[in-house]
Structure 1
Amino acid sequence: MSRPKLQPYPGLRAFERYESRIFFGRQQQVDDLLARLKQHHFLAVLGASGSGKSSLVKAGLLPGLEKGYMGEVGSRWAIAEMRPGDQPFVRLAEGLLADKVFAGNWENPPPS
């Protein structure tokens, strides 16, 4: 699948992961998210609709994880994306099962 041509301002939509190089101005927030995730191993990004949560996560946090900005934790992450909609738990399950790593562990759980 080819990526669309990069535009410096995507308009009224969230930045995507592949647009991380044109996503700027929120590095301190990205650094804060990475630090919190490293400390607590869980992160919830909350805010008003249209405040840039998706862009911050997709074009800031996720590329930071993949580039290894969390040091000893590494750069190999299994990432499942989902939008909660009107059935958040169903959407979460669908998002997890759409990822081959998560789905493979569901079908063939590691021995306990």
Structure 2
Amino acid sequence: MREIVIDIVRAIREARHMNGWRPQFEAALKKLAEISSAMDERTLTPPILVGGAAVELYTQGAVNTGDFDLVSAQQSALEVMMMRHGFVRPSGPGVLTRVGYTRT
């Protein structure tokens, strides 16, 4: 798992030179790398980036997305780690996603 986190960080560093990613996307990747590293340090499996954000990462910004979709074998641990990194779970009418965290 540590290799995955290292690959994410390396991709972020390379992106600075290519300037292909939007600043918001790069900031979100950095936050994902922090969360992944924190989980890895606790011997937890880091989440996997899927969906549109994975496509944006793979295409180096040729395709843009509006959110990050994550898959985790340890959902509860991921949710706790996200909250420790400043995310809050939305509540109230209209919340349809199982986990729809937003950054505070």
Pairwise same-fold verdict (TM > 0.5): no
Q: TM-score range by the shorter chain?
A: under 0.3
Scaled by the length of structure 2, what TM-score is found? Answer: 0.27
The structure number with the bigger radius of gyration is: 1
Structure richer in strand, relative to its length = 2
